[in-house]
Structure 1
Amino acid sequence: MPTLLRPYAASLLSLVVAVAAAHAQPTRIDVVTPVAPELAAFGPQAIGVRTLRAVDRQRPDILRTKDGQPTARYDRQFVLEVWYPATLAAGQASGATYRTIARDPSIAVTLQGRAARDAPLVATGGPFPLLILSHGYPGSRYLMSHLGENLASKGFIVVSIDHADSTYDDQQAFASTLYNRAFDQLFVLDEMARLAAPGSGHFLSGRIDVSRTGLVGYSMGGYGVINVVGGGYSDAAVAMRGGPPNRLLAERAASNAAYRASIDPRVKAVIAIGPWGMQVGAWDAAGLSGIRTPVLYVAGSVDDISGYTKGVRAMYEATVNADRHLLTFVNANHNAAAPHEAPAETLDATGRAVIGFTQHADPVWDSVRMNNILQHFATAHFDRYLKDDATRGAYFDVVANGSEAVYAMDREGKPLPTHTYWKGFKRGTAVGLILEHASPAPGGR
């Protein structure tokens, strides 16, 4: 090799080694950046985590039922990840390692967080509000693990679902997800109520207040969340091509009076992130008018999966009988806010993306920054509606377009009369965000 080229070759080799070393490190789900908004910071509680299993007996088996034939039934299996406020024993190590897979099931993924595996649930305080996390199609119970750990540190018990037929290593026909998503979320709520009952003998006995439950759903998880709180499916959705057989979706259609009467009052607030369905007619204005639970919609303005103008924004506008907000990440796509940072394993040794990277990354926004913004608003939203903390409303009382807010502080850091910047946001960090609010129609709540 010519002498003049040797330094460049050495530099290139160092770069490849550095990328490979980074590739070998677990992807952290607990990063809070210096520009994160105020409420993204972890709370005072240590965090525990446990994996639970559950079975819903005799669920309709969508994959083995033919139109016009009797509906088959089966025992639907669940794997759940539970994060909770914990007490660490002397010398007990925190920093849970989560071993999972990427969008390509052959790629093993290691995530690193702050929780302590199987730590005792904190003995004081509570019972704690319940939060249920529901991933997209496909996904995994770890997709929003950043949010699970963060909110557990603030006095919530958070349960994240692996939805059968809808995970990275078990993706089946879409009809199963269309039918099962809302039922899965409601089953997990009932299962947590069973485990939390006095005398259950479970570590959660007496420690969850299921009458204060919140849901967070991403994509198809958001589709389920909207239906759980009263967004009945349209009649067109019931008959859609490729949908569940035997018109089974009618069980939770807006036109079904029994569905209307079944809305679970234990669910007090929800967050729907890029909820799927409006752009293909799964809902209409009449169906969405059935929602009376406070909703925080979250979306990217160029979402090409769920749609924005005719998708998430249209849902926000049609939810006329509920107090609701729409948080928009300008120029973000479908991956806005919910998925944790792309795992290191989705980059090869030269730093090029492999299968699974685009399941997490956004072309414009940094994933960790979006995660922090979601953690901030999720904390405010659920503190407000599940813990009755009215002061959290101030975090939503903002100039709608973050780029138009004025940051004006004196030398002592006190706001001047012209200061209109988003509460809890550092100077310049609300740019690219839009937060809108609409109150319920008269008589809507």
Structure 2
Amino acid sequence: MHRHMTTTALLAASLAAGAAQAENRIDRQLPNAPELAAYGDHAVGVRTLEMVNPGQIDILAIDPAADKPDEMPRYDRPLTVEMYYPAAEGAQGETAFKAYLRDGTTEVTLQGKAMRDVDPASGEAFPLVLISHGYPGNRYLLSHLAENLASKGYVVASIDHTDSTYRTQATFGSTLVNRSLDQLFVLEQMAQKAAEGGDFAGLYDAENTGLIGYSMGGYGAIITAGGGVTEASVGYTWGGPHGTLGIHQVGSETHNALPDPRIKTAVAFGPWGMNRGFWDAKGLSGVQIPMLFIAGSQDDTSLYEDGIRAIWQNTSNVDRALLTYMNAGHNAGAPMPAPEESYYFNEDKGFNISEHYTDAVWDTVRMNNIAQHFVTAWLDSHLKGEAEKAAYLDLVEDSNAGVWSVAEDGTEKDDHSYWKGFAEGSAKGLMYETRAAGE
């Protein structure tokens, strides 16, 4: 304890002295980043949107130890959304932004490429992408991916999930029940904003939407895609109180009516739930859209063999892929680089705050760049219909087994099997596996 307190004091003094110099960039690109990680041709804008979903069940107002109420308490559920979009040519604006760390109390300045409140581009309706963070998290946790996609011609709505952010973290049952509902509500709100006119008129096509979720966001994405939770999970005493999770149970009328045809595909980083009995083969067979799963083989939160990999295997009625960072943990690919101010041991949390963003083996920026590459290839294929991007997803399963065989003029030889888009020697420690619908 004394060592931790001493370390904390020294770090606090050091960070206070150097805070003005800390850039905390979320947009870094390594020299060996794969090809499709590079930022696109569009400048990027960003705006904050406030939404309210009326009449939602107030999970926090339900006492799970008391008798089930005759009527569930209701409230108007607030949601904050960060919208990233292709910006008008020549736009100029502030690119620094404020965000809270995992400790829920430290506000830091982050730096990216997205410019605050600048005019959007015109002349093209871009696909819409929703981003859903983990528990806890916030709308900036995957900001490196959000603004990267916006530069490539996507409009991205990244959600702050009430009761699930660093500042509002509350009873887990609220996240279990509300996560998918939040995703679909934001989709509908974005569709209405596009139809209302103004700055958003014609900017994006909500009929052509992708969904990205991390951890509990991935859990929600599976539900939104059509996966139903188990009967057992509905009855967990630590879950949704008094059976409130039953609206997402496999086979229920409410869940059968849930999937939205406007969502064409989903990407799930480290999706949670298989490890705690929320999924089984029957429930996962309900997924209706192609999915890309991204995992670390040493994930000790969602688990790998009995967690994420089992979800991928049992999502049986759609085409799906699994990208694995070998020896990485739960933070594989999704979180932004750890802000400098996060490198301290927090006595209340009992861990170094930077651990929320980092991995014990992999460099975060490298993981981010690889994720940007694969998510771009996946979304371009499924939302933009760019057939040529399929080549970036047609790979030998083990990246270490890929053979680099290129002639002096750069022509690939017949035995060349290195992962497309990766420079020689840069595709290491990864697995990419695919299964077709019915397999």
Amino acid at match of 1:107: T
Alignment partners' CA distance in 2, 1:81 and 1:247: 32
Task: Give how far 1:26 is off.
Answer: 2.3
CA distance in 1, matches of 2:292, 2:180: 18
Mapped partners of 1:181, 1:388: distance in 2: 29
Superposed, which structure 2 residues align to 1:56-67 within 5 Å? 56-67=53-64
One-letter amino acid matched to 1:217: G
Q: In the alignment, is the contact (CA less than 8 A) between 1:103 and 1:355 conserved in 2?
A: no
2: distance between equivalents of 1:55 and 1:205? 21
Matched residue SS, 1:332: coil
Residue 134 of structure 2 corresponds to 136
The structure with more radius of gyration:
1
Give deviations 1:60-86, integer Å, cap 9, x for gaps.
101102351121000000111000001
Matched residues in 2 for 1:157 and 1:387: separation? 13
What CA deviation, in whole Å up to 9, does each residue of 1:386-436 have, x standing for no partner? 111111111110000000010111112221111100110111222100000
Question: In the alignment, what sits opposite 1:117?
Answer: 116
Superposition map of 1:330-349 within 5 A:
330-347=326-343
Question: Does the aligned pair in 1 maintain the 2:344–2:352 contact within 8 Å?
Answer: no
Call closer, same or farther: CA 1:223–1:86 in 2, change over 3 Å.
same
Q: Is the 8 A contact 1:23 1:345 kept in 2?
A: no
Is the alpha carbon distance of 1:285 and 1:190 closer, same or farther for their aligned partners in structure 2, counting shifts above 3 Å?
same
Give deviations 1:172-197, integer Å, cap 9, x for gaps. Answer: 01111011100000000010011011
What does residue 166 of structure 2 align with?
A: 168
Q: Is the 8 A contact 1:108 1:345 kept in 2?
A: no
SS of match in other structure, 1:171:
coil
Mapping of 1:253-292 within 5 angstroms? 253-292=249-288
Corresponding position of 2:85: 84
Cα deviation, residue 257, structure 1: 3.5
Give the equivalent residue in structure 1 for 2:413.
Answer: 416
1:22 offset after TM fit, Å? Answer: 7.5
1:262 to partner: Cα distance: 3.1
Q: Which residue is 2:10 aligned to?
A: none
Query: 1:23 touches 1:344 (CA, 8 Å); kept in 2?
Result: no
Q: Does 1:214 align with 2:215?
A: no
Q: Is the 8 A contact 1:347 1:354 kept in 2?
A: no
Root-mean-square deviation over aligned CA pairs: 1.9
Shift in Å at residue 112 of structure 1?
0.3
CA distance in 2, matches of 1:284, 1:58: 31
Q: Give ranges in structure 2 of 5+ residues lacking alignment.
A: 1-12
| Residue 186 (structure 2) pairs with residue 188 (structure 1) | yes
Query: Partner amino acid for 1:167?
Result: T
Are 1:299 and 1:308, in contact at CA under 8 Å, matched by a contact in 2? yes
Distance 2:288 2:354 in 1: 37
Shift of 1:258: 3.9
Equivalent residue in structure 1 for 2:146, among 135, 144, 148: 148
SS at match of 2:200: coil
For the 8 Å contact 2:344–2:354, the answer to whether it is kept is no
State the distance in 2 between where 1:320 and 1:379 align.
Answer: 24
Please state if 1:103 is matched with 2:99: no
In the alignment, the residues of structure 1 paired with residue 284 and residue 344 of structure 2 have an alpha-carbon distance, to the nearest angstrom, of: 44
On the 8 A contact 2:15/2:341 being kept in 1, the answer is no
Structure 1, gaps ≥5 residues long: 1-15
SS of match in other structure, 1:166: coil
Q: How many residue pairs are counted as aligned between the two chains?
A: 419
Aligned to 1:396: 393
2:430 maps to 1:433: yes
Taking the aligned partners of 1:354 and 1:343, their CA distance within structure 2 comes to 16
Give the TM-score, by structure 2 length.
0.92
Residues in 2 aligned to 1:140 and 1:18: alpha-carbon distance in whole angstroms = 23
Amino acid across the alignment from 1:139:
G
Give distance in 1, aligned partners of 2:258 and 2:116.
Answer: 37
Identical-residue share of aligned pairs (%): 47
Q: Which runs of 4+ in 1 moved over 4 A?
A: 16-20
* Alpha-carbon separation, structure 1, partners of 2:271 and 2:218: 4
Post-superposition CA distance 1:220-276 (Å, at most 9, x none) = 000000000011011111111211122111111112144223311111010000000
Paired with 1:194 and 1:72, the residues of 2 have a C-alpha distance of 27
Rate the CA distance shift 1:408–1:401 in 2: closer, same or farther, 3 A. same
Change (3 A) 1:18 1:159: closer
Residue 121 of structure 2 contacts residue 203 of structure 2 at CA under 8 Å; is this kept in 1? no
